[in-house]
């Protein structure tokens, strides 16, 4: 369990967040880090054309399509150590569920921060947004993330083999869900 404070990302801090995210994405599929985003190694940046929709989602009310909320954990010097985000499903009639994305900076891994970020997001999803499920998709090669999700109450619901062909590899995608409506 990490003790770094976790706070909602304000729209004004988005550029700071984007710098952190692009640095984080530069690890994708490199060295000891498994692929964690379905992006080629040399193109592992946050797509510029998605930035507007991402920011708009942070301002969208929870009862409207396209909402998104982002929380960041900050180290003592103020730099972002990790993030978690929840967003609406794109399908209609799925407003009782949301999708999760997350990451922890390479300097802050294995300290319990990933677990704390999931716990924070799950508490908000249940207590504030009254949601019943959190869903996610994760590359099947990303064993650290799958272990983290299992440990925090996510169960596998499916797997699509060979969904992505990236950098000459065939990558499967695993779907997982965490039930919230059993939590008091």
Task: Report whether 60 contacts 67 (CB < 8 A).
Answer: yes
Q: Looking only at residues 154 through 183 of this chain, which bind ligand COA when binding is defined by CB under 6 A? A: none
Interaction of residue 121 with ligand COA, rule CB under 6 A: no
Binding window for ligand COA (CB under 6 A); candidates: 41-49, 52-60, 63-71, 144-152: 144-152
Which of these, 30, 33, 16, lies nearest to 75 by C-alpha position? 16
Per CB under 6 A, 70 contacts ligand COA: no
* 138 interacts with ligand COA by CB under 6 A: yes
Are 179 and 130 in contact by the 8 Å Cβ rule? The answer is: no
113 is a site residue for ligand COA (CB under 6 A): yes
Residue 38 binds ligand COA (CB under 6 A): no
Is residue 82 within 8 Å of 24, Cβ to Cβ? no
Piece in contact with ligand COA (CB under 6 A), picked from 100-108, 127-135, 154-162, 176-184: 100-108
For residues 36 and 89, give the distance between their C-alpha atoms in angstroms, rounded to a whole number.
Answer: 20
The rounded distance, in Å, linking the Cα atoms of 51 and 93 is 26
Backbone angles phi, psi at 117, to 5 degrees: -65, -40
Should residue 21 be labelled a site residue for ligand COA when binding is judged by CB under 6 A? Answer: no
Shortest distance, CB of residue 80 to ligand COA, whole angstroms? Answer: 12
Q: Give the interface with ligand COA as residue ranges (CB under 6 A).
A: 36, 101-104, 109-115, 138, 142-145, 147-148, 151
């Amino acid at each position: 369990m990490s003790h770094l404070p976790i706070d909602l990302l304000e729209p004004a801090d988005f550029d700071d967040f984007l710098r952190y995210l692009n640095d984080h994405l530069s690890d994708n599929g490199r060295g000891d880090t498994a692929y964690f985003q379905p992006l080629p190694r040399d193109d592992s940046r946050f797509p510029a054309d998605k930035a507007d929709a991402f920011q708009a989602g942070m301002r969208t009310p929870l009862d409207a399509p396209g909402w998104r909320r982002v929380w960041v954990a900050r180290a003592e010097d103020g730099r972002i150590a990790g993030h978690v985000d929840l967003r609406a499903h794109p399908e209609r009639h799925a407003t009782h569920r949301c999708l999760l994305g997350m990451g922890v900076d390479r300097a802050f891994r294995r300290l319990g921060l990933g677990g704390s970020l999931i716990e924070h997001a799950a508490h908000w999803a249940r207590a504030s947004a009254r949601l019943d499920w959190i869903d996610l998709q994760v590359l099947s090669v990303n064993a650290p993330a799958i272990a983290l999700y299992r440990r925090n109450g996510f169960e596998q619901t499916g797997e699509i083999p060979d969904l992505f062909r990236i950098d000459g590899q065939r990558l499967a995608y695993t779907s997982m869900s965490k039930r919230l409506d059993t939590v008091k």
